[in-house]
Structures are given as C-alpha cells and as structure tokens.
C-alpha cells in the first residue's frame, strides 16, 4: 500500500486548493478526482463557443474586520473562526493563481418595485431603504422595530440587546420576525427566501440562512434607516472577478496547477461508494470500477452531503432544494446596470438574482445569468427571463434578448435540520467504523460553506 502525505477524494474547491498547494509545498498527494462536477459549480459550462458562469460568481477578497491587523496564521485555523481573520492568505492565493487577471466589479444592487439601489443583503447598509418604500411602510417598520427595542426579551435573540446570540434550534423565520418585525419581513425577507426554497424556507436553521442568501439585521439599524440617520454604515463591498468575466478560469488554473505540479498522483474516478480502514491506510470503492483502491496517509473527503450519508451502502434520504438558471445574450447598449450582481425582491419577478458573466459573446453583447425560482417551468424561460431583466430595471424595456440555454431543477442539498443531522450521523458512523478523515466544504460544516471558506480549508490542509 503506497504512502502519501494527503489522500484527497473529491473535486470541490477545497479539495483542489489542498492538492495543488500541498504538492507545491513538497508533499506527496493522491487525488481521486470525480469525472463530473469538478469545481462544484464554479467551473464554466461550455455552450456554442461560449463559456457560461453557473450563476453569480464573484470573489470577495476585500473583507477584513481590521485591515491594519496582521493576518492570523493558518496553523491557528480550527474551522469555526471568522474567515475574515485569514483574508490576507485567501487574497494572496487567488491573486497569485490568477496573476494579473483580476478586476474589481461595480457595486452590487438590489431591485424592488423596479427601482435599483445599492444592495444591502451583503453590505448590511440599509441607507437606501427609504427610497424603496412608501411613507406608510416606513412608518410601520419604524414602529415595529421601536417596539422590539423596547419590549421585554422573550428568549429569541435580538441583535444588539441579547447578551448571548445562540441561534441553536431557531428557525430563520422566527429570528427574522423577532429582529425585523412583520412589515420588513413581509416586504423583503419572505418574498426573496420563498423564491429560493418555496417548500420550507421558514424552517431553515437560523445559522444556515446564508444557504438561501438571506440576511439578519439589527433592529436598531432598521429603525435608524427609516429616518435616514444611520449611525454607521459598512464600507461599500467591492467584489472581484476574472478580467474577461469568465469565472471558470479560476477552476481551469487550479486544474492546470494540479496536472503540472510534481508530487500529485491524479486518478479520475466515479462516485465514492465504500470507505473502510485497512491496516495503516484505507480501502476505497468507486462507482464503475471493479478493483478497490488502497492508499495510506491523511485522508480528506470533499464530497456532497448525499455522498457522505450514502457511503458503505447506507440509504441517503436527503432533502433537496431545486433551483433554475437561464443564460441570455443582450446588447451592451441596452443594459441599465452592470452591477456585480442584482438581488430581486419583487414577489412577481421570477428571478432572485441577476448578473453578467461568462465569455465568448460576440462583440457588443453580454451574457446575462438569470437565477430563477424552481417554480418556473423550462418552457416559460424565454418570457420569464425577459420579464425578470426588464421589471428589475436591469435591461431596457423592449430590448432584443436571445435565450441561450437554461436548466430547470438544479438540485442541491437543502439547508435543513434533517440534512445536518444525517450528515453528522454519517460522519460519526464512519468514525465508529475506524475511518479517520478530515472534511472540506459542506461535509465539514454546513454553516461554513462559502467560497472563501473552501479556499481557507484547502490552504489549511496544505500547510
């Protein structure tokens, strides 16, 4: 049985970063790479000479709680810290990998009632709120948040008032109502969340709300925003992408580094079906392969929740969330907003997020990425894409639109208590069977599953 420093199973960003950087550091790496799904949605989708981004794809390389502070060492990362403490490491890795091919994007925007304003889900800067609502709505939000700030606490955490912010056992809807009040919740939180997970968004665990791209605001901040008197606002978030707009280049560069760096034994495989301890190493059984692979070393799994739960013949009953995405080509002259992305909150608009990205469009045209509610059938994509782009204010009304492609029913594991419980039970079962492994990505922690955390986990494993 051959000995390696790292045995990595999976094609997620964390797996690719760990393999590439460990080999560059002189370690011996065995990488079992799946035939499909390399990059976990961050790679490009080829289509008629174009490369399509699979949704909104940007880097957030400028977030840091104290830009003047030195970077926290990678050896101090334990998996549950604020990734922003390690931003200099993440930024340095991405900048070195893409070497001069990064560019900053215009600020993100939010669409409501056909109006475009600076986006506040990610920035948490609510200064544009009065521009979106009428006086009656603003008055209701002001009154409800004042009541939240004055009333006796009832056990549900209130940001800025509760000494302990433990969200364990809380669903997102309850926490939103307790902090935002009914008026803001019904105007912005409920319609947006329902587009992404219409079946069960209300019961998403509060600490998994980022999995449906939904925020939580301080009631004091909401109250101040109604009067245009915010005590502070975050600096405008600056997102970054690859210079030609093709985010898939990031995955391409990672794969090039993996394929050209000595020390990586790369093997393409089907899905991992079985994993057992075998002396000083492990035996691995893959789909569509008769022989069992054997290797010794530090094991790393970067698999989906369903694949972890289903290892060694166990039933994988996983709650799934369905999404839709469409790509359309439009004339640059007809675009009203080239924001890094636009979140769409109107309940009758079928899109929840819009962006421009990808490469290969003819000169003078851009590729629009339209992320749609799963309720929209594929045969309605052409009309839905037009309505989404026009109603949001992103595209000139009546502008020519060519629908390139669309996928309905993109299925990913849903952020539910049951899925989290099933994942933790499966990991414990593997440990009980004698499998010693590290995890990256969703399998490591469903609450810490964004691009920066994937990169950070990979860098940490390679260090």
Q: How many CB atoms lie under 10 A from the CB of residue 186?
A: 15
pLDDT of 15 > 90? The answer is yes
Q: Which residues contact 69 (CB under 8 A, 6 or more apart)?
A: none
Q: How many CB atoms lie under 10 A from the CB of residue 326?
A: 24
Percent pLDDT > 90 in the chain is 78
Which helix (H) or strand (E) is 241 found in, with range? strand 240-242
- Written as six digits, the tokens of 47 are 């289509």
Q: What is the pLDDT of residue 232?
A: 56
Under DSSP, the state recorded for 255 is H
Confidence of residue 235 (pLDDT cuts 50, 70, 90): low
Q: How many CB atoms lie under 10 A from the CB of residue 250?
A: 26
Confidence of residue 316 (pLDDT cuts 50, 70, 90): confident
Separation between Cα atoms, residue 34 and residue 264, nearest integer Å: 15
Which helix (H) or strand (E) is 244 found in, with range? none
Q: What is the pLDDT of residue 177?
A: 96
pLDDT of 71 > 80? The answer is no
At 333-376, the pLDDT tens digits run 999 999 999 999 999 999 999 999 999 999 999 999 999 999 99
Q: What is the pLDDT of residue 162?
A: 79
Are the C-beta atoms of residues 413 and 320 closer than 8 Å to each other?
Answer: yes
Q: What is the pLDDT of residue 125?
A: 84
Q: What is the pLDDT of residue 231?
A: 63
Are the C-beta atoms of residues 207 and 167 closer than 8 Å to each other?
Answer: yes
Mean per-residue pLDDT for 258-287? 95
At 447-462, the pLDDT tens digits run 878 999 999 999 999 9
Separation between Cα atoms, residue 438 and residue 431, nearest integer Å: 11
Mean per-residue pLDDT for 240-249? 94
Percent pLDDT > 70 in the chain is 97
Of 138, 145, 141, the residue nearest 159 (C-alpha): 145
Name the maximum alpha-carbon separation found in the chain: 72
pTM over 0.75: yes
Mean per-residue pLDDT for 233-251? 86
Of 326, 320, 291, the residue nearest 416 (C-alpha): 320
Q: What is the pLDDT of residue 69?
A: 56
Q: What is the pLDDT of residue 380?
A: 97
User: What interhelical angle do 135-150 and 172-184 show, nearest 10?
Assistant: 130
Q: What is the pLDDT of residue 1?
A: 85
Answer with the residue of higher pLDDT: 323 or 228: 323
DSSP alpha helix (H) spans, 261-399: 305-309, 381-391
Separation between Cα atoms, residue 184 and residue 145, nearest integer Å: 9
Q: What is the pLDDT of residue 52?
A: 97
Q: What is the 3-state secondary structure (H, E, C) of 310-345?
A: CHHHCCCCCCEEEEEEEEEEEEHHHECCCCCCEEEC
Beta bridge partners of 341: none
Q: What is the pLDDT of residue 64?
A: 56
Q: What is the pLDDT of residue 72?
A: 75
Q: What is the pLDDT of residue 234?
A: 58
In the chain, what are the helix, strand and coil shares in percent, each to the nearest 5? 35, 25, 40
Tell the residue number behind the tokens 């400028």, with chain if given.
Answer: 62
Q: What is the pLDDT of residue 451?
A: 94
Residue 65, helix vs strand vs coil: coil
Least confident of 39-48, 183-192, 213-222, 231-240: 231-240
Q: Average pLDDT of the chain?
A: 92
Mean per-residue pLDDT for 91-113? 94
At 159-208, the pLDDT tens digits run 988 777 778 889 999 999 999 999 999 999 999 999 999 989 999 999 99
At 369-414, the pLDDT tens digits run 999 999 999 999 999 999 999 999 999 999 999 999 999 988 899 9
Of 79, 450, 89, 60, the residue nearest 238 (C-alpha): 60
Helices first, then strands: H and E counts in the chain: 11, 18
Separation between Cα atoms, residue 415 and residue 207, nearest integer Å: 10
């Amino acid at each position: 049985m051959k000995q390696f420093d790292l045995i990595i199973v999976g094609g997620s960003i964390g797996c690719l970063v760990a393999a590439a950087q460990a080999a560059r550091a002189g370690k011996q790496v065995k990488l079992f790479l799946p035939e499909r799904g390399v990059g976990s949605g961050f790679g490009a989708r080829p289509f008629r000479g174009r490369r399509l981004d699979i949704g909104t794809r940007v880097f957030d390389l400028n977030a840091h709680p104290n830009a003047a502070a030195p970077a926290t060492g990678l050896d101090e990362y334990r998996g549950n810290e604020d990734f922003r403490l390690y931003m200099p490491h993440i930024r340095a890795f991405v900048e070195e990998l893409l070497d001069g091919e990064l560019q900053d994007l215009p600020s993100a925007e939010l669409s409501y009632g056909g109006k475009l304003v600076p986006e506040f889900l990610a920035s948490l800067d609510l200064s544009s709120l009065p521009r979106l609502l009428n006086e009656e709505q603003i008055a209701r939000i002001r009154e409800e948040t004042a009541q939240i700030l004055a009333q006796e606490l009832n056990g549900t955490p209130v940001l800025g008032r509760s000494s302990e912010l433990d969200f364990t056992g809380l669903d997102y809807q309850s926490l939103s109502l307790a902090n935002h009040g009914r008026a803001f919740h019904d105007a912005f939180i409920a319609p947006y969340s329902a587009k992404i997970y219409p079946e069960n968004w209300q019961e998403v665990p509060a600490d998994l709300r980022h999995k449906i791209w939904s925020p939580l605001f301080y009631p004091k901040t909401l109250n101040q925003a109604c009067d245009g008197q915010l005590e502070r606002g975050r600096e405008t978030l600056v997102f970054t992408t690859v210079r030609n707009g093709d985010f898939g280049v990031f995955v391409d560069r990672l794969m090039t580094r993996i394929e050209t760096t000595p020390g990586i034994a790369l093997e393409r495989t089907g899905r991992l079906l079985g994993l057992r301890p075998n002396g000083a190493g492990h035996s691995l059984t893959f789909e569509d392969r008769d022989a069992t692979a054997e290797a010794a070393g530090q094991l790393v799994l970067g698999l989906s929740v369903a694949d972890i739960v289903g290892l060694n013949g166990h039933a994988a009953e996983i709650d799934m969330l369905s999404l839709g995405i469409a790509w359309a080509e439009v004339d640059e002259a007809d675009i009203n907003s080239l924001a890094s992305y636009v979140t769409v909150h109107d309940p009758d608009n079928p899109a929840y997020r819009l962006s421009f990205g990808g490469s290969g469009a003819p000169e003078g045209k851009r590729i629009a990425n339209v992320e749609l509610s799963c309720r929209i059938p594929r045969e309605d994509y052409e009309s839905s894409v037009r309505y989404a782009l026009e109603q949001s204010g992103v595209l000139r009304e009546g502008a020519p639109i060519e629908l390139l492609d669309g996928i309905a029913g993109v299925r990913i594991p849903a952020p539910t208590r049951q899925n989290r419980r099933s994942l933790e039970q499966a990991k414990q079962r593997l440990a009980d069977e004698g499998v010693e492994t590290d995890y990256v990505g969703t399998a490591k922690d469903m609450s810490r599953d964004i691009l920066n955390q994937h990169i950070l986990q990979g860098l940490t494993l390679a260090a």
